[in-house]
Chain A
Amino acid sequence: MALTAADGQRLREDKPLVLITTSETGQHITALNTAARGMGFRPGMTLADARAIHPALQVAHADPAGDERALIRLALWCQCYSPFTRADPPDGISLDITGCAHLFGGEAGMMENISKRLSGFGLSARLAIAPTIGTAWGLARHAPDPCHISHPRKLRDDLAPLPIAALRLSPEIRRALEKLGLKRVGDLVDKPRAPLAARFGSQLMRRLDTAMGYEEESFTPLSPPVSHVAECRFVEPIITRKGVEIAVERLTRDLADMLEKAGKGARRVELRLFRIDGWFETVPLATSTATRDPHHLCRLLCERLDRIEQRAGFGFEAARLSAIQIEDKPAQQEDMDGPVHDSGRNDISPLLDRLVNRFGPDRVTRALPCPSHIPERAFRFVSVLEKTGTPDWPAHARTVQDGADFARPLLLLAPPEPIIAIAEAPDSPPARFEWRREPHRVTRAEGPERIAPEWWRTHEDASRTTRDYYRVEDEAGHRFWLFRDGLYERAGNAPRWFIHGIFA
């Protein structure tokens, strides 16, 4: 598996090249290419020793985090072979190909396909197919041939000649076994189990059992398995947007059929386009209600395909549409005289989906009342994707305003803006005030409406002062909602004035 160099220097693959890491004990080689291996370098050597042997050695720093990212990326790309894939750091990828191999002409065909693709990416890979995870792991790393297929009946024969290291054991156990002369897996298989378990702990026996298939083993795939997936592979790589759109149309139709048969609707779907160079593009999509309308889904997805041509690289070879989140959606009887059901006309979710698709879920909102007297806490805007009941705003307004008709402004400033206000008496409304450098002379005022702080809220930076709200009107007829923050009788800092809203 290739390691990436962090700095941009040009490195030649045909000349000896090593990657190093720096630790307290100096700079050590962590990986090397074939040419360097041929010169006798090994991982773990110090760089000083290596340089002494071959001064013209090419050196680059290893980037473990980048390696891991690339590994995960590649594991995700491998999902075009099987939905169950995982990255197995530092250098492996596991695929559960149960029920997938026949799509590529059997296990041999699949292995050849993967091998060809990976070498096409410039990766030198060792592959193994085996009935158990443990055996496949061991064969991939320690089998003499780079591509090995193990059959259930030959499991023991395949495993026996492998070194002990093929059992995924901790270094201490491995070293202890090697000291005893147990160098091959075959040496262990027929030994009595009890003394081995007593001496080396349960790990050894478990590894052996899982490798031999006596014990079940499974892994957690990178992406959770989804039950409804539509896939298509292209004969030729596609690079045009139109081509992708045609594929999306087909995929949405297939997925909608699947969902219809299951009586489900999708809330979240994901389109993944696999590029031929081991990369992929993901287009996530969320809808406001469960849907399985292929035209609607297709339209939403196609709107998200901006700049897909620039990102296509050498082309997409496969596409997959998976329903990540599904909900029950019983089949509906369509009208006998026409396909359009009346309730469908009044359903605004397609419109909401399109708006969310374009602006993002946080930009398309509806208001919900919140039980608070503090004006800025009396409501919140939630995304239309969240499921909410129908709120009773008139009742909320009655509670909050205590029966007054126009006690709340049409526009609310968030946060309230400080103003310079002059009041005739400490507890009277301001006679004039200045907001955004513009003076206003107050001709009428109503108030105060006293709103006490919510003292029980301790964890938030909620206001700690009492506010006296006034509705005022200036000479031009503009009406404002001003408040005095704090009380005069309290010792300490003087009350400040704010403007919090504008009336219609």
Chain B
Amino acid sequence: MSSPQNIDALRQRIASRECLSPIRRPVLSLGPDRLDAAFADNGLSTGALHEIVPTASGDLAAGIGFGACLLTRIACLRPGFVLWALPADRGRRGGAAYPLGLTALGLDPAHLIQVEACKGTDILWTLEEGLGHPALSAVIGVLPERDRSYDFTASRRLAMRAARQGVTALILRGKTHPAMSTAAETRWSVGAMPNAPAQHAGPVGAPRWRIELTKCRKGTPGQWEVEWDHETLSFRFPAPLADRAPAWAHGTYGSGWAKAS
């Protein structure tokens, strides 16, 4: 019963029950093997809904940056336009996406279509529209703070539409949301991470985050510290050379976090 054919057949039956398309979408390798190993398919599934939650209120840029890097990797796998939906007041409150900053991360703004909507429902509508279009590579939506329109039904709609055309959906939602279940494939908690222990003065290097996979439907949750490599357009673990912290510093940064070896 445990032969691969049987398992495949069972998976297809489950997929048909879940009303998801039986087409196997390619999976997205994030870079390091140890990161991909968290997923049963050895990579993040495309054509699915993924959530990004900034760890703290000041980590919005980290969340958007992580999302932009995911979009970059998705664009390598599936070239096309990216639909970027964000609240209209974003420019005044938390800063608007800067095309040159996106270029630095490897995402070409020429393929970016920015939609400014007022309400969360408008953003979700935009994402749904985009997900129905096969020419898109991915859609990303930044929900307004304290938005109530994103719930299980909305996430389920997005997930089903994403599966139909193979367009990946990313949702950036605030921490203030009540604990609720959504139909997202994965949920990432992204926070800023200092470049190296503060005692070592030096240049501000590549973008670096402390990411935590808090929910994963097909895989095991975990925590990592990753860096973005804009040359290879992939994530990497910070080089061991940079991690020369004295032993006591591990008390603040190290414990509980998977470290590069």
Contact = CB atoms under 8 A, between A and B. Distances in A.
B61 A477 contact: no
B194 interface: yes
A370 to B, nearest CB: 10
Contacts of B59: 478
Interface stretch (A31-39, A141-149, A186-194, A349-357): A349-357
Contacts of A407: 104
Interface string A347-391: 110111011001100011111010000010011010010000011
A406 B115 contact: no
Contacts of A393: 99-100, 103, 108-110
Contact of A446 (B117, B203, B209): B203
Interface string B41-67: 000000000000000101111101110
A86 B253 CA distance: 77
Contacts, number: 195
A409 B204 contact: no
Interface stretch (B8-16, B128-136, B215-223, B240-248): B128-136
A490 B154 CA distance: 57
A351 B129 contact: yes
Contact of A444 (B100, B133, B202): B202
B204 A348 contact: no
A347 B134 CA distance: 9
B193 interface: yes
Contacts of B125: 358
Nearest to B197: A443
B177 to A, nearest CB: 21
Range of interface residues on A (Cβ < 8 Å): 35 or more
A311 B69 CA distance: 48
Nearest to A502: B61
A405 B104 contact: yes
Nearest to B203: A446
B249 interface: no
30 contacts: A351-B130, A355-B113, A364-B115, A364-B116, A365-B113, A367-B109, A375-B100, A381-B114, A390-B110, A391-B110, A392-B110, A393-B110, A396-B100, A405-B104, A408-B100, A408-B104, A410-B65, A411-B96, A411-B98, A413-B95, A414-B92, A444-B195, A444-B203, A472-B204, A473-B194, A473-B195, A479-B192, A504-B66, A504-B69, A504-B207
Interface of A: 345-348, 350-352, 354-355, 358-359, 363-367, 369, 375, 378-379, 381, 384, 390-394, 396-397, 400-401, 405-414, 438, 443-446, 471-473, 475-479, 501-504
Interface of B: 56, 58-62, 64-66, 68-69, 80-81, 83, 88, 91-92, 94-105, 108-110, 112-117, 122, 125-126, 129-130, 133-136, 191-195, 198, 201-210, 228, 230
In the A-B complex, the 10 residue pairs with the smallest Cβ-Cβ separation, listed nearest first, are A504-B65, A411-B95, A477-B192, A412-B98, A477-B194, A410-B101, A408-B100, A367-B99, A502-B61, A504-B207
Given A375-B100, A409-B61, A411-B60, 9 more contacts: A354-B129, A363-B117, A369-B99, A381-B114, A409-B101, A411-B61, A444-B204, A477-B208, A504-B209
